[in-house]
Chains A and B, each alone.
Chain A
Amino acid sequence: MSTIVLLLITGLGLGALYFLIAAGLSLIWGLMRVLNLAHGAFFTVAAYLGWAASLTLAGTSPWVQWGVSVVVAVVAGGVFATLTEVVLIRPLYARPVGQVLVTVGVALAAIALVEGGFGSDPKQLTLPAWLNGTTSILGANIPNTRWVAILAAAIVLALLLFFLQRTRYGLIVRAGVENRSMVEALGIDVQRAFTLVFAIGGMAAGLSGVLAAAYYGTIDPVRGSSMLIFAFIVIVIGGLGSVAGSALAAVIVGVLQQFLNFYAAAGVGDFAVVLLLALVLLARPGGLTGATST
């Protein structure tokens, strides 16, 4: 029983990390039809900058250090993403494949830069004692980092739904996911919504990066790209452009992965997730696009 609870909560925590990456990816794809392969780089760069910022505060309270690293990571992810959109994606408006390719270049260059600057070995993190601890529930000792990840993802989900449902820009994003050119034909500058969606996506990815660092206890330059692949799977299963769909799919993928990796064999969970993707695609090959962003 306690193992099941542990796996469930840990799976939810993993799903939370996926969701934070997938939400932005899904909106970017839904609105702009850009497959953003640089999203893993936002995750990684933000995590490293957050970590580096906490190092400069050595000697202060661990909570202050960790809090600063979270803020720095979120801001860094947002700034990096905004710059990518404005400087590199925007000039390629008329060339969709060019946009994808440019994000590949950003991913390669940024990850190489991280390796050059910080080395390719995993870095140990110093966390507040409570974050390294566990909380007991139904007999299972759940690492507190899982709770933090789940809570953060829940807050981001709520904020995103509020943004989409209750603000004018959210309205523009929802409409743009359906029919971008009609939004323009109502006199709305969709370009600004693009930048905004990129910024939000980058911030969420940055948050995922710094929370994943706590979740795994280390940061390294390559985790971002494997997280990105599972986030892709999440957004395809969840329906491209749908934030709520991404949240649901992230939970399914994270929990399934944890259970199978534990009960079957390491790696089987990852495999099963890919298989699930294939099954979803076979069941409804055309039904993946055109989802509304609710």
Chain B
Amino acid sequence: MTAARGRILVAVAALLVLAALPQIGITIPGLFERPLSAPGTLSLLALCFVFGALALTYDIVFGYVGLLSFGHALYFATGAYAAAIALTRWHWHLPQAILLTAVVAIVLPLVLGAVCLRMHDIPFAMVTLAFAEAGSVLVLQNPFGLTGGEEGLALGSDALPSYLVGVPNTHNLYWIALAFLVVTYAVGWWAVNSPPGRVWQAIRENERRVGVLGLNPYLYKLGAFVLSAFLASAAGVVYVLLQGGANPQITTSSFTLALLVMVVLGGVGTLWGAVLGGIVYEYLDFRLVALSNAPALQSLPAIVRVPLSEPLFILGVLFIVLVLFVPAGLGGLLRRRAAA
């Protein structure tokens, strides 16, 4: 009881510090080049929060229900593109755009999930991958001039309320991202600890046994699929606000694979592990690019320099090492350290 209360206190304190960050001018040398309150740092952190939340939504289906979906990027991209199209092509206001996105974000996964979940295991993975690829093709084809094709879709300066636009307002976006992460975590925590959430975990362990108990695993899986996709679409909306638009990279299968890496990095089947994985991945992806331009690296011979200047190479290798030797992920490592 006291341990749980202690953990909550630590979490609340950490949240308060994070929330106050835009007002504090401290620097953390090594980790961030500029002060934490600088807009550049804040927007990187905000992006990290969104990916932390997105990884969490993926962990609900993959980690808690055991569904290896290779199409999660589709739902993130759905949120991003639905909002961006409503805002730029139709000049809707933000609340209406969000409402439309919410409707799409329930209907689409409901229909696709209903088809995909007729499969199990690896065939399920392949089918989700195929649907996500169809989405990616659609975005690239720029149907009716809606998605902008390879160029992506940039929000005009008048598309958003003024308090969300411009470098001086970065701290507002930062707070929105932080709030979104907290809300997503709360919803995720509530969901996995609810009675259906316990059924999800039972399905992960042994689906047939759940069926024998008279529960319909299909409906529970569909519920988890839709919830997770809906939250991912919401993350897509926040992403559009942060990035000022949508781009086709977030529709690709590589992006789904990146989500998979995030969750495994942090620890499958733990919410905070997935969040940690998403944050660490996005941070590394960003910072490793900076590393690749570092003078120390440039002086190395090509055979060492080339691999080290590719963030995805380092992340890919790190991922393989984790899968082989640390199946519980970073979260598992930390927990073991804490227990020792």
A touching B, CB within 8 angstroms: yes
Of all chain B residues, the one with the shortest Cβ separation from A104 is B257
Docked complex Cα distance between A104 and B140 (Å):
24
Contact at A271–B118, with CB atoms within 8 Å?
no
Chain A residues within an 8 Å CB radius of B119: 281, 285, 288
Contact at B133–A274, with CB atoms within 8 Å?
yes
SS of B interface (majority):
helix
Contact at B134–A35, with CB atoms within 8 Å?
no
Docked complex Cα distance between A242 and B271 (Å):
40
**Does residue A106 face the partner (Cβ distance < 8 Å to B)?**
yes
Instruction: Tell me which of A105, A110, A117, A275 contacts B306 (CB under 8 A).
Output: A117
Docked complex Cα distance between A282 and B131 (Å):
14
Contact at B323–A271, with CB atoms within 8 Å?
no
Chain B residues within an 8 Å CB radius of A240: 123
Answer whether A288 and B324 are a contact pair too, CB < 8 Å, given A267-B138, A281-B115: no
Contact at A108–B312, with CB atoms within 8 Å?
yes
**Does residue A187 face the partner (Cβ distance < 8 Å to B)?**
no
Chain A residues within an 8 Å CB radius of B317: 105, 109
Chain A residues within an 8 Å CB radius of B323: 92, 98, 101-102, 105
Contact at A92–B306, with CB atoms within 8 Å?
no
**Does residue A210 face the partner (Cβ distance < 8 Å to B)?**
no
**Does residue A278 face the partner (Cβ distance < 8 Å to B)?**
yes
B233: min CB distance to chain A, Å = 20
**Does residue A5 face the partner (Cβ distance < 8 Å to B)?**
no
Chain A residues within an 8 Å CB radius of B133: 226, 229, 270, 274
Answer whether A108 and B316 are a contact pair too, CB < 8 Å, given A33-B122, A97-B68: yes
A282: min CB distance to chain B, Å = 7
**Does residue A160 face the partner (Cβ distance < 8 Å to B)?**
no
B217: min CB distance to chain A, Å = 14
B143: min CB distance to chain A, Å = 8
Contact at A37–B310, with CB atoms within 8 Å?
no
- B294-332, CB < 8 A from A: 306-307, 309-313, 315-317, 319-320, 323-324, 327
The interface bits of chain A over 35-56 (1 if a CB of B lies within 8 angstroms of the residue's CB, else 0) are: 1010000000000000000000
Chain A residues within an 8 Å CB radius of B69: none
Contact at B118–A285, with CB atoms within 8 Å?
yes
The interface bits of chain B over 117-136 (1 if a CB of A lies within 8 angstroms of the residue's CB, else 0) are: 01100110111011101100
Docked complex Cα distance between A225 and B131 (Å):
15
Most buried by A among B119, B137, B307: B137
Most buried by B among A102, A104, A267: A104
Chain B residues within an 8 Å CB radius of A225: 252-254
Instruction: Tell me which of A109, A117, A226 contacts B316 (CB under 8 A).
Output: A109
Chain A residues within an 8 Å CB radius of B319: 101, 104-105, 108-109
Contact at B123–A106, with CB atoms within 8 Å?
no
Contact at A102–B138, with CB atoms within 8 Å?
no
Docked complex Cα distance between A260 and B320 (Å):
40
The interface bits of chain A over 239-262 (1 if a CB of B lies within 8 angstroms of the residue's CB, else 0) are: 010000000000000000000000
Answer whether A267 and B141 are a contact pair too, CB < 8 Å, given A95-B327, A113-B307: yes
Contact at A236–B123, with CB atoms within 8 Å?
yes
Chain A residues within an 8 Å CB radius of B68: 97, 100
Docked complex Cα distance between A226 and B312 (Å):
18
Contact at A113–B313, with CB atoms within 8 Å?
yes
Q: Chain B: how many interface residues by the 8 Å CB criterion?
A: 40
Docked complex Cα distance between A233 and B132 (Å):
12
A209: min CB distance to chain B, Å = 18
Docked complex Cα distance between A236 and B115 (Å):
15
A284: min CB distance to chain B, Å = 10
**Does residue B264 face the partner (Cβ distance < 8 Å to A)?**
yes
Chain B residues within an 8 Å CB radius of A33: 122
B205: min CB distance to chain A, Å = 14
Instruction: Tell me which of A35, A110, A271 contacts B126 (CB under 8 A).
Output: A35
**Does residue B229 face the partner (Cβ distance < 8 Å to A)?**
no
**Does residue A266 face the partner (Cβ distance < 8 Å to B)?**
yes
The interface bits of chain A over 261-294 (1 if a CB of B lies within 8 angstroms of the residue's CB, else 0) are: 0000111001100110110011001001100000
Chain A residues within an 8 Å CB radius of B264: 101
**Does residue B261 face the partner (Cβ distance < 8 Å to A)?**
yes
Answer whether A88 and B310 are a contact pair too, CB < 8 Å, given A104-B261, A225-B253, A277-B127: no
**Does residue A147 face the partner (Cβ distance < 8 Å to B)?**
no
Chain A residues within an 8 Å CB radius of B252: 225
Instruction: Tell me which of A37, A102, A278, A281 contacts B257 (CB under 8 A).
Output: A37
Of all chain A residues, the one with the shortest Cβ separation from B258 is A108
**Does residue B260 face the partner (Cβ distance < 8 Å to A)?**
yes
Contact at B138–A271, with CB atoms within 8 Å?
yes
- A194-241, CB < 8 A from B: 225-226, 229, 232-233, 235-236, 240
B125: min CB distance to chain A, Å = 6
Chain B residues within an 8 Å CB radius of A59: none
Contact at B313–A112, with CB atoms within 8 Å?
yes
Which are the 8 A-B pairs with shortest beta-carbon distances?
Answer: A109-B316, A108-B316, A112-B312, A105-B320, A267-B141, A112-B313, A274-B134, A112-B310
Which B residues are closer than 8 A to A by beta carbons?
Answer: 68, 115, 118-119, 122-123, 125-127, 129-131, 133-134, 137-138, 140-141, 252-254, 257, 260-261, 264, 306-307, 309-313, 315-317, 319-320, 323-324, 327
Which A residues are closer than 8 A to B by beta carbons?
Answer: 29, 33, 35, 37, 88, 91-92, 95, 97-98, 100-102, 104-113, 115-117, 225-226, 229, 232-233, 235-236, 240, 265-267, 270-271, 274-275, 277-278, 281-282, 285, 288-289
30 contacts between A and B (CB under 8 A): A35-B122, A35-B125, A101-B260, A101-B264, A102-B323, A104-B260, A105-B316, A105-B317, A105-B319, A106-B320, A110-B316, A112-B311, A112-B316, A115-B310, A115-B312, A225-B252, A225-B253, A226-B133, A232-B129, A236-B126, A267-B137, A267-B138, A267-B140, A270-B133, A271-B138, A281-B123, A282-B118, A285-B118, A288-B119, A288-B123
